[in-house]
Amino acid sequence: MTTTAQSFDIQTPARPRSRTLGVVRFQFMNTQTFVWMPVLVLGGVWLITLLIYWIISASGVEGPMYSGGSQAPLWYFAVVGAQAMNRTFYFSQAMSLTRREFYLGSLVAAGISAVGISVVFMFLGLVEQATDGYGINGYFAYLPWVWVGGPLAAGLTYFVLTMLTFILGFWFAIVLKRFGVLILTTALLVIALALLGGAALISLNTAWPQVWTWFADMQSMGLTLWALGACVVFAAGSYLTLRRLTV
């Protein structure tokens, strides 16, 4: 066999002093999940959006064009969360890691990846701002409502939302593994019903105008802070679920 004799000078020099930091390197060992897929999703959606803008502007439409395409990588992070959990957790147990080490390390790894993607988002936004939407008035990342507080605030919003979807994906994967598909589906239905109940309550009280005003008053920074709070709560919830997960 020729494939076996390949050099095995693995790219891992010294052993990490903290096992939690080891988990970060462990999550990045296979760069596909945390590096190349997010890059591919963001780059792909960006390209498609620009092509659409170009087609539209070529047909003579003048007004500024905005799209929700830049949120695609956010949703991909829910998948990343589920993947980081799924099989990797079982292997981390074989590596004699505690659940806490695995959890914190995975969260840090997601954080690094989310910072990377938020920086790209900020960069694209700044380019769009400087070039008036690539010269055709088309905006992918520079959405005025998000950018009210400047580039850093926009980057933070993007980062927090990325982490939020990651944590939710992670948590759902844990619930699935621990309680099975029946309980997960039930939980999702209960959440949907609760949201629907909330919406019904608002409608019955004809309170939608107040709700929209609240959102508008919050501005993106306020909503980012709310999302950050949700991140903390969901992160704690998923850790508590993971603590008693068996192999």
- 95 to 23, 88, 132, 172: CA distances (angstroms): 10, 10, 51, 23
Residue 91 engages another protein in binding (rule: CB under 8 A): yes
Residue 17 engages another protein in binding (rule: CB under 8 A): no
- Cβ proximity to another protein: between 4 and 206 the closer is 4
- Cβ proximity to another protein: between 5 and 182 the closer is 5
* Touching another protein, residues 30-49 (CB under 8 A): 30, 32-33
- Cβ proximity to another protein: between 87 and 206 the closer is 87
Residue 244 engages another protein in binding (rule: CB under 8 A): yes
Residue 86 engages another protein in binding (rule: CB under 8 A): yes
Shortest CB 209 distance to another protein, Å: 47
- Cβ proximity to another protein: between 11 and 206 the closer is 11
> Given candidates 44, 54, 55, 100, which one binds another protein under the rule CB under 8 A?
100
- Cβ proximity to another protein: between 20 and 118 the closer is 20
Residue 59 engages another protein in binding (rule: CB under 8 A): no
> Given candidates 67, 71, 83, 219, which one binds another protein under the rule CB under 8 A?
83
What one-character-per-residue DSSP string does the chain give? --GGGS----S--SPPSSHHHHHHHHHTSSHIIIIIHHHHHHHHHHHHHHHHHHHHHHTT--S-EE-SGGGHHHHHHHHHHHHHHHHHHHHHHHTT--HHHHHHHHHHHHHHHHHHHHHHHHHHHHHHHHTTIIIIIEESS--TTGGGG-HHHHHHHHHHHHHHHHHHHHHHHHHHHHH-HHHHHHHHHHHHHHHHHHHHHHHHTT-HHHHHHHHHHHHHHHHHHHHHHHHHHHHHHHHHHHHT---
Tokens of 48: 């498609």
Shortest CB 90 distance to another protein, Å: 4
Tokens of 81: 């969360």
> Given candidates 40, 47, 98, 211, which one binds another protein under the rule CB under 8 A?
98
- Cβ proximity to another protein: between 20 and 224 the closer is 20
> Given candidates 75, 90, 208, 215, which one binds another protein under the rule CB under 8 A?
90
**CA-to-CA distance for 202 and 93, rounded, in angstroms?**
46
Binding residues for another protein, rule: CB under 8 A, are 1, 3-6, 8, 10-12, 15-16, 19, 22, 25-26, 29-30, 32-33, 83, 86-88, 90-91, 93-101, 243-244, 246-247
